[in-house]
Amino acid sequence: MHVNPTLKRTLGLSTATLLVMSSMIGSGVFKKVAPMSTVLGDSNLVLLAWLAAGLVTVMGTLTYAGLASLTEEAGGQYEYLRIIFGKFFSYLLGWACFAVIQTASIASIAFVFAESVNNLLPMPAFTEHWANISIAGFIFPFANSGVKLLAILTIIILTYINYRGVKEGGLLNDIFSWAKILGILILIILGLSYTSTTPLAHHAATYVPLTFNQILAPFFLAMLGAFWAYDGWVNVTYITGEIKNPKRNVPIAIIAGTILVMLLYLLVNVAYFRVLTVDEFSAIDAAGNQIAGVEVAKKIMGNSGNILISVLIMVCTFGATNASLMSSPRIYYRMANAGVFFPAAAKIHPEFKTPHVALLMQMIWAIALVMSGTFDQLTDMLIFAAFIFYGSAALGLIMMKRKKLITVKVFGYPYIPMIYFLFCVGLVVNTLITMPKESITGLLLIATGIPLYFYFNRKKLLP
């Protein structure tokens, strides 16, 4: 297998840690408290769901920290699965990332950024007279044309910046990461210092205490919402080939970044419940067109709070789009090097030392998803698809340790990776049972790449 040696190691520990945080902090922290309140009906249970999902995510980072010793090459999670399970299974991850996990996430977050801009500065609707034109009855390419155009321009601009160099993309990531952290800290301070004129109830007016067995299913469902907000921590592994001293810095970055985000999420949700009740968050969820974080800020500061949170969501989603867009092409670059993706994706720009063709391929598909408007349906499948591969990686770590192919000390081994593996299995099985349509569709989307795998293998397009 040919490995292109021209990627440059220019990113240090601080940028890697901020990349973890920026990949995770998007719109979820401002939205998910509302549906979680509807499902659980008790603020203490909502906070417990955030904590539980955070601790499970930290278990995942500890597992991946152990796997980081397997390679110093770009591709991260893809490379781990290739080394452990072989080329076919790792290809399924790479294809899932290209078809759904990463590109739909980029499209979705860029669209939320554009919506936030539209809330403050309404975009002209260029093609609204064609808005009802559909393809196959569910793809409406001309609906929300102004917002879609801004989302597309965002993807193009960020692709250009990252095309010009990983250092440039990393600098942009650093700036927006610090802006995110500062903005969320301001929101936390405002919320914690807010004094309500009436005592706030911890549970909904219609809340009925449930037994452990009764609360288990809704608690698990609420955790899924939190997992959407926590997801993205694995992105830093994809860019391993451009991180200095990766066997040291990737594990530190992934663990530290995730723990810091968990603390921010817990504090901001405590702040939320200092301002609004569970019933009020449930009403926000029922309204369907409101954002919980915006309503909290409006309660504290009036209309200026709306502006503050809208700007903060813009900063968070712009930064998260950049973080995902920056890291993902390294997967497709490594796949092309292994001969299981379009060979042009293996090219490195002679001047900028970036996988420029892989970046452009990702940009084109993400733009197509924005135009289609189907990314919301696709993102419903993201967590399900992602946890299939997270669980596989945890099992792989146990296998590698037992075979003594990983000799580094792994914190909490074997209990943490085993618990994480069992949790991933439970989540996947539970999602298959409770959301069979979305789950099966996600599996079918992953399976669509299988014919391409055999095509690439048969043609042997790369040595």
The CATH number given to whatever domain includes residue 138 is: 1.20.1740.10
Q: What percent of the chain has pLDDT over 70?
A: 88
The whole-number pLDDT of residue 304 equals 86
Is residue 112 predicted with pLDDT exceeding 50?
yes
Quick check: is 270 in a domain? yes
Quick check: is 7 in a domain? no
DSSP string, 357-407: HHHHHHHHHHHHHHHHT-HHHHHTTHHHHHHHHHHHHHHHHHHHHHTTS--
- SS3 (DSSP) at 301: helix
Single-letter residue type at 412: G
The whole-number pLDDT of residue 154 equals 97
Least-confidence region, from 129-138, 269-278, 447-456: 129-138
Quick check: is 1 in a domain? no
The whole-number pLDDT of residue 378 equals 66
Quick check: is 3 in a domain? no
Is 236 within 8 Å of 327 (Cβ atoms)? yes
Is residue 98 predicted with pLDDT exceeding 90?
yes
Reported confidence tier of residue 282, pLDDT bands at 50, 70, 90: very high
The whole-number pLDDT of residue 393 equals 96
- Residue 156 structure tokens: 């193009």
Helix, strand, coil distribution of the chain in percent, nearest 5:
75, 0, 25
Reported confidence tier of residue 462, pLDDT bands at 50, 70, 90: very low
Q: Where are the alpha helices (DSSP H) in 68-206?
A: 77-85, 87-96, 102-120, 145-163, 166-192
- When pLDDT is averaged across residues 148-167 and rounded to a whole number, the result is 95
b/e per residue 395-418 (b: at least 16 CB within 10 A)? bbbbebbeeeebeeebeebeebbb
How far apart CA 106 and CA 317 sit, in angstroms, is 10
Number of domains in the chain: 1
Q: Please, how many CA atoms are within 13 Å of residue 357, restricted to the half-sphere of its CB?
A: 16
Is residue 460 predicted with pLDDT exceeding 70?
no
Q: How many CB atoms lie within 10 A of CB 206?
A: 8
Reported confidence tier of residue 1, pLDDT bands at 50, 70, 90: very low
Place of tokens 């292109």: 4
DSSP 343: G
Quick check: is 4 in a domain? no
Quick check: is 2 in a domain? no
How far apart CA 463 and CA 332 sit, in angstroms, is 16
Torsion of CA 124, 126, 128, 132, to 10 degrees: -140
Reported confidence tier of residue 204, pLDDT bands at 50, 70, 90: low
Is residue 183 predicted with pLDDT exceeding 90?
yes
CA angle 429, 227, 96 (to 5 degrees): 65
The whole-number pLDDT of residue 418 equals 97
Is residue 164 predicted with pLDDT exceeding 80?
yes
Q: Which residue has the higher pLDDT, 203 or 97?
A: 97
User: At what angle are helices 33-40 and 292-301 packed, to 10 degrees?
Assistant: 100
The whole-number pLDDT of residue 128 equals 62
- Domain extent, residue 206, equals 13-459
Quick check: is 8 in a domain? no
Least-confidence region, from 109-113, 116-120, 282-286: 116-120
- When pLDDT is averaged across residues 163-184 and rounded to a whole number, the result is 94
The whole-number pLDDT of residue 289 equals 72
Q: Which residue has the higher pLDDT, 458 or 391?
A: 391
Most confident of 11-20, 125-134, 365-374: 11-20
Place of tokens 């009855």: 137
Reported confidence tier of residue 146, pLDDT bands at 50, 70, 90: confident
The answer to pTM > 0.75 is: yes
Least Cα distance to 336 among 239, 242, 453 occurs for 453
- Digit-coded pLDDT (tens) for 412-443: 889 999 999 999 999 898 888 888 887 888 88
The whole-number pLDDT of residue 142 equals 58
- Digit-coded pLDDT (tens) for 23-55: 999 888 998 999 999 999 889 999 999 999 999
Reported confidence tier of residue 8, pLDDT bands at 50, 70, 90: confident
Is residue 136 predicted with pLDDT exceeding 80?
no
- When pLDDT is averaged across residues 83-100 and rounded to a whole number, the result is 94
Is residue 457 predicted with pLDDT exceeding 70?
yes
Tell me, rounded to whole angstroms, the distance of Cα 343 from its chain centroid: 27
- When pLDDT is averaged across residues 202-221 and rounded to a whole number, the result is 72
Q: Where are the alpha helices (DSSP H) in 302-374?
A: 303-327, 329-337, 356-372
Is residue 363 predicted with pLDDT exceeding 90?
yes
Q: What percent of the chain has pLDDT over 90?
A: 60
How far apart CA 63 and CA 84 sit, in angstroms, is 14
Is residue 188 predicted with pLDDT exceeding 90?
yes
Tell me phi and psi for residue 288, to 5 degrees: 85, -20
- When pLDDT is averaged across residues 140-154 and rounded to a whole number, the result is 79
How far apart CA 277 and CA 207 sit, in angstroms, is 13
Least Cα distance to 328 among 38, 95, 87, 39 occurs for 95
- Residue 315 structure tokens: 């900063």
Asked if omega into 355 is within 30° of 0 (cis), the reply is no
